[in-house]
Amino acid sequence: MSHPLLPDDATRLVVEDLGKAFQGGPRATARGRTWALRHLSLKLGRGESLGLVGPNGAGKTTLLRVLTGVLHPEEGRFLLPSSWAGVLDNGPGFHGELSGRRNVELAGVLLGARRRDIRRKIADIEHFAGLEGYLDMPLKRYSTGMAVRLGFAVAASLEPELMFMDEVLVHVDAEFRERVENRLEELRRRGTTFVHVSHDLAWLGRMTSRVLWMHLGAVRADGAPGAILRDYAVAMHESVVGSG
């Protein structure tokens, strides 16, 4: 294995020429594979918050799955700090038969926390989710919104150096959304680096300091949120009008 120079202290993610291919598909190459992601390079610093936008199939979730170890790349490499968390789904592993408390431990450990650390934070998580008194009830009796709140409270209790989030804030009310935004902003000020995938452009406008527009597995544009999100919104609108 190569021994490249380590990134400097202010760096939190280095992606070099990353490629991920799947079998089959309409854009399959001679070897029968379609590149869902190709020649993607990226560098993120401490406290940066990156938003990923792009139409369905642009490779946003594939990129997150590769960077969080769910999928392994065919090309390229990446470096990330050992303290990272990948929130690709709200409340990973949540099981209806287990109590809220047990599910908190389960999801927290699956997201990379130690069990004892999660146990220590359980009162904070309960408070953040606004679910005081419900934690010993089986999760199957929770409403959708309650389960989402609990799942998000687990993710928000983590304090990793790098955090990936894929469209995790649906089904929550405006009050909880604001609480989440405040918490993420607090983490970012303390140095956590974020990568957000979302189709909610207003949310990305508030929560990111940089946006990457992906198209067919490659970077189409990279820059400040204002300009990129505006161009992207226009392009999406035109494609709807054009096809309609």
Partner 1 sequence: MVRQADARNPAAARATSAWIEVSAASRPLAARWSFFWARRDVVGVLTRRILSGRYHQTLLGVGWAVVHPLLAIGVFTWVFSHWLADQAPGGSWLAHNALGWVPWGFFTTALSGSAASLVGHADLLHQVALPRLALPLAVLLARCVDLLLALVVVFGLLLVDGTPIAGSVWLVPLPIVGLGLQAVGAGMMLAYVEVRWRDVGQVLPYLLQLGVFVTPVVVPAAVLAGAWPPLPYVNPAWGHVEAVRGLALGHSLDPSIMAAAWAWTALAIAAGAFTFRRTQQHVGEWL
Interface segment toward partner 1; rule CB under 8 A; list 50-58, 87-95, 126-134, 211-219: 87-95
Is 131 a residue that touches partner 1 (CB under 8 A)?
A: no
The burial class, CB within 10 Å (0-12 / 13-18 / 19+), for 26 is exposed
**Matching residue, tokens 């959708």:** 144
Applying CB under 8 A, among 45, 55, 57, 93 the residue interacting with partner 1 is 93
What is the contact mask toward partner 1 in residues 160 to 189, using x (rule: CB under 8 A)?
A: -x----------------------------
Q: What angle do CA 201, 204, 206 make, to 5 degrees?
A: 115
Cα gap 213→53, rounded to integer Å = 5
Please tell me the count of residues contacting partner 1 according to CB under 8 A: 47
**Interface of this chain with partner 1, residues 42 to 71, rule: CB under 8 A:** 46, 65, 68-71
Which H helix or E strand runs over 43?
strand 33-45
Is 218 a residue that touches partner 1 (CB under 8 A)?
A: no
Angle between helices 144-157 and 174-189 (to 10 degrees): 10
For the record, the structure tokens of 84 come out as: 């990272």
Is 132 a residue that touches partner 1 (CB under 8 A)?
A: no
In the complex with partner 1, the residue whose CB is nearer, 96 or 223, is 96
What is the contact mask toward partner 1 in residues 2 to 41, using x (rule: CB under 8 A)?
A: x---xx-x--x------x--xx------------------
Interface segment toward partner 1; rule CB under 8 A; list 100-108, 142-150, 176-184, 219-227: 100-108
Cβ 178 to partner 1, closest distance in Å?
Answer: 26
Residue type for position 190: R
Cβ 129 to partner 1, closest distance in Å?
Answer: 19
* Residue 224 to residues 42, 209, 227, Cα–Cα distance (Å): 15, 6, 6
Cβ 221 to partner 1, closest distance in Å?
Answer: 26
Q: Give the three-class secondary structure for 189.
A: helix
Strands 11-23, 33-45: pairing kind: antiparallel
* Residue 209 to residues 41, 164, 200, 203, Cα–Cα distance (Å): 18, 15, 15, 12
Q: Residue numbers of the site for partner 1 (CB under 8 A)?
A: 1-2, 6-7, 9, 12, 19, 22-23, 46, 65, 68-84, 86, 88-89, 92-93, 95, 97-98, 102, 105-106, 109-112, 114-115, 161, 191
